[in-house]
Amino acid sequence: MGVLRSTQSLQAEVDELRASLMVGAGWRPSGGHAHAKRAPGDEPGAASARTVCVTGGISFVGFAVVDRLLRHGYTVRLALETQEDMDKLREMEMFGEDGRDGVWTVMANVMDPESLHRAFDGCSGVFHTSGFVDPGGMSGYTHPNFSIPKKEPELEDSLIRIDTDQSDPGNLPCNCWFVGKHMARLEAQAAERVIEACVRTGSVRKCVFTSSLLACVWRQNYPHDRRFPTIIDENCWSDESFCRDNKLWFALGKTAAEKAAWRAARGRDLKLVTICPALVTGPGFRRRNSTASIAYLKGARSMLADGLLATANVETVAEAHVRAFEAMGDNTAGGRYICYDHVVQRPEEFAELERQLGLPSRGVAVQGADDRPARFELCNRKLARLMSSRRRCTYDTYYSVAFD
């Protein structure tokens, strides 16, 4: 959703996006400011098997998905929510007369079914990569200017005061009141409306939904005395009550949103796949994805101790989205897919990750992390089979701990 940024930070983000595209994808700067370009013959309502819509297309993950789709020969419609998003694209100067073909934009609000329907009309598929992320990033869903709706007094109990917690990088001192549960509920509502819009739009037959590994890993009452680690794969779901009780708002939002998407798609004429990436890293992720990253790391020390803290390069995540979308055509892809490149196992790696995100590293080793086996083991075999069955993914190399 709309996030307030300073002029300096916005310009830095624009510069980072421009640099990454110029180096990695062959984008050419245009001769002047221009609107995003509309592909020839790709008008609203004109259904095309190679035309897709991407929500959140200028986010860190969304932009990588857009770029990957263009490389695969798709025409991409960017669904932008705010004028700020449009201004950012114009400042990038990547979609002008001399810029890259195959991309054009439409304004759409994920909470407005009518605007979503207009955005999706004529597309064969939708990639829903957008989500609610706060500008502070301290608790997962925080916004100092957020107010509780007057007609929803039951939300009063969701006001959470975040205190300084030296054991958790997600708990940083802040003087704001937060409405975590309400933001999580909004994300679930947005997911439901996106799926409903997909079902309502006659041209749309497939949807790839960006969830999170956090929608799989948070559970209570796991056995502590098992001889072998518990496998965490796409069949596992995070416990919403556990997330709520422990104020894991980002995980709660992703879990609730994905479940809402599956409920909305059940029994409908729509193929749905969800991708559950770990902490998304890659070039420039500190600048372009810091709020989501800090939100993800709420409870990171527990994840590290249990073998559940993992990272996924943004290129791997983008390729997984496109692979799943293409494989849905012949029904060889379906359900959920866990996506990660590397499991963080050493406190030193975690400290480096904190440093890359500008978080204060306390230099305290996780108790028991080095002298006992992890209670859990992540498994992404399902995605690995999908990726290898079509074309070997070239982004399976983990780049040490130089996350930025």
Q: Which residues are catalytic?
A: 254
- For residue 62, what are its two tokens? 């969304």
| Separation of first and last alpha carbons in the chain | 25
User: In Å, what is the CA distance from 2 to each residue of 59, 81, 83, 130, 145?
Assistant: 11, 7, 9, 11, 12
The whole-angstrom separation of Cα 395 and Cα 211 is: 20
Whether the CB-CB separation of 113 and 119 falls below 8 Å is answered with no
